Amino acid sequence: MTKKLLIDTDPGCDDAVAIAAAVAHADLELVGLSTVAGNTTLENTTRNTLAILELLDRTEVPVARGCDRPFCRDLVHAEEVHGPGGIRGDMPEPTAEVIDDHGVSFIVEQARAHGDDLTIAAVGPWTNLAAAMHLEPDLPDMVADIYLMGGAAMTGGNVTPEAEFNVYVDPEAASHVVQYARPKMGGLDVTNRSKVAPELIEDYARRGVPFETIAAWFGYEDTDAIRERGIDDPPSVHDAAVVIDIVDDIFEYETYPVEVNTGHGPSRGATICDTRGAPGEEPNVDVAVDVDLERFQTTLAETLENL
């Protein structure tokens, strides 16, 4: 049965792979994309989203521009990882434009329109999702599932020793989401291991449009460099793993009480996962604790062949 999917995103190379997988998988219907500031500015993430859809010849998918900054913080971006403007590869000039709806309103409207046929995947900072839940408090009960890419429940962070990027960017939004959404959280515990084979990246780099650009997304590197040097140890494609889990159950989940540290200093954005089973602590998040890497790699490669 086809699942209706809305992706809230901040492209970003791994976001781009996630979007490609979503439009290519036969069991997913991508009903829309909302953009958020994160890996780069909102202007760039929105332009990148439109360019990704242009590249994949899916410009009919609606794109709604969302929040341009975290709730209470200055924006921290990751262009040093994803490239100038937030994405690698030879990207086309977008011909489509964003819809009139704000990204937060768009999330709520899609939830009301599709109800429990809809799955939401938030793979950037969770600002839009938290704001949508303020606008429509019943949103988590209206939809089938809410998936998150973010957090580091039982492992170290990738921004600080404790914090994962999406949570670190907007810990106040993340705190609200984990408290009230009862989400499935695919954090660094599993996505750090979600890499594709070097041979696939090197093959894509020689295959032409759109695969040579996807190779750049996989490698977080220019395609020419991949052709010349190859890839020894590919980076993780965090966001794509969450999309593949939605259709192929590649993650193993355990349910725990989870909180987010909204303070300042070295613990900002830490995902606090209580594995002790302490009395009085109610489990509120399905935490991904393991990933079937072989199935992830196989399903993602097979899916992208549909492009």
What is the DSSP-derived secondary structure letter of residue 163?
B
Taking the C-alpha atoms of residue 120 and residue 192, their distance in angstroms, rounded to an integer, is 22
What is the DSSP-derived secondary structure letter of residue 86?
G
Distances (CA, A) of 102 to 18, 89, 106, 108, 131: 22, 28, 6, 10, 11
**CB-based burial label for 298 (10 Å; 0-12, 13-18, 19+):** middle
**Torsion 137-67-148-265 (CA) sign:** negative
Cβ–Cβ under 8 Å, residues 304 and 203: no
Give me the active site residues, please.
238
Alpha helices per DSSP H over 115-274: 127-135, 139-142, 165-169, 171-180, 188-191, 198-204, 211-219, 223-229, 238-248
Q: Are strands 251-256 and 285-291 parallel, antiparallel or unpaired?
A: antiparallel
